[in-house]
């Protein structure tokens, strides 16, 4: 039986990696992947808690997140694709349409 804390530490490490990648990398695809990693870090934490508490709630949430993440990935990639078509770039510094 692996203790709960191991999972949580792994989850934190994954999350931190994702966050750092998000800030360090410049192209949208990589940033997108970084977000996915953070998602999965959260999923891992959920699962670990669910297992240790012996409740199914955490697992249900994880399923939910996975489904939503799949949909979100599709939409997100489509948007990135469209941005590339319009702007010929996917560097996040070049995109500031929402500037006030």
Q: Are 62 and 46 in contact (CB under 8 A)?
A: yes
Q: Shortest CA distance to 89 belongs to which of 80, 99, 79?
A: 80
Q: How far is the CB of 28 from another protein (least distance, A)?
A: 8
By beta-carbon proximity to another protein, the closer residue of 59 and 73 is 73
Sign of CA dihedral 62, 63, 68, 69: positive
User: What is the x/- site pattern for another protein, positions 21-60, by CB under 8 A?
Assistant: -xx-------x-----------------------------
- What is the C-alpha separation between 60 and 92, in angstroms, rounded? 34
Q: With beta carbons less than 8 A apart as the criterion, state whether 59 and 47 touch.
A: yes
Q: Tell me the window of 16-24, 42-50, 61-69, 79-87 that interacts with another protein (CB under 8 A).
A: 16-24
Interface residue with another protein, options 17, 19, 21, 73 (CB under 8 A): 19
Binding status of residue 92 toward another protein by CB under 8 A: yes
């Amino acid at each position: 039986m692996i203790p709960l804390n191991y999972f949580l530490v792994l989850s934190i490490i994954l999350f931190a990696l994702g966050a750092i990648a998000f800030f360090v990398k410049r192209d949208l695809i990589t940033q997108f992947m970084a977000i996915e990693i953070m998602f999965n870090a959260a999923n891992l934490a959920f699962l670990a808690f669910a297992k240790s508490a012996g409740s199914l709630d955490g697992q249900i949430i994880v399923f939910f997140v996975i489904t939503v993440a799949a949909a979100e990935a599709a939409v997100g990639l489509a948007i990135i694709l469209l941005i590339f078509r319009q702007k010929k770039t996917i560097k996040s510094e070049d995109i500031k349409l929402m500037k006030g």
